[in-house]
Structures are given as C-alpha cells and as structure tokens.
Amino acid sequence: MTDRGDDHARGESRVVAQGTFDILHPGHVHYLREAAAFGELHVIIARRENVTHKPKPIVPDEQRRRMVEALDPVAEAHLGHREDIFVPIEQIQPSVIVLGHDQHHDDDAIAAALEDRGIDCVVRRASALEADDALYSTGDIIERVCEERC
C-alpha cells in the first residue's frame, strides 16, 4: 500500500473504502482487506445513477451493499449520497480513506476537498493484487461470461 499521508491513522480508527462492487471478485477482497488493516472499515457503495466513468452496474444498489457488508473485513456498508459524495464521509468521520489501486480518483484533489470540508483524514492508495488465473475486474468477468455462455 502506498502512503498518501502520515501514520496517525493506525489502530481502531475508522476507515473508508469506496467503489461500485458490481460483481465481487478477488481484487475487491484484496482491496477491502488492505483497507481494514487500518481500522474499522466502512465501505461506501456507489449508486448506479452516480456511476459515470464506466458502464452502470448490473446488480441493484441495495444488493451490492448487502453483499459487501457480508464480507469479513467490512464493519458496515453504506450507499453513497445521490448528490454529494462527501456526505457519507462527513457522517462516518474516518481517519483514513483508502482508494483502490486502479480507481480513477485524484488523491490530491480528494485530500484538498476533505481539508476544505474540515475532515481530518489521510488518503492512501491500496496495492494491486498480484496476477494469477483469477479475474480481477467486473468487466473481465462479464466478457468471459459472454464468451463462454452467450
């Protein structure tokens, strides 16, 4: 995991991870385990209507939330806010936000927005999962299903 801030965020702090989590795969589990190493893990699930950087999720919002919350590393999963992505972060008050290794977010822009809102937390980036024969992206899983079943 790459450090994007100081180390004051260890121990029993609250941690936020976020994503779409459309079809769960080993990359998601790796990301959430790394994030949970920093403390009590809260995961924010992107609402379908807010996903604009890739195809909309297939699995309904609440189902994705329940699936993520059922994973061992996760203390609680929340649906994202419809209009302001920082509202759940303000409610959770994390010490650390861990971004996925390939998420499109700009670490510095998020850190600046957090500071502007008076949220005192560091931003870190999770490491990539080492490649093997597993499928690490929802898009790859969908493509494989279409190749083999359609």
Q: Which residues are annotated as a binding site for ATP?
A: 20-21, 25-28, 102
Annotation: binding site: 20-21, 25-28, 102
- Measured distance CA(96)–CA(53) in Å, rounded: 24
- C-beta of residue 21 within 8 angstroms of C-beta of residue 73: no
Q: What angle do CA 32, 90, 34 make, to 5 degrees?
A: 15
| C-alpha 80, offset from chain centre | 11
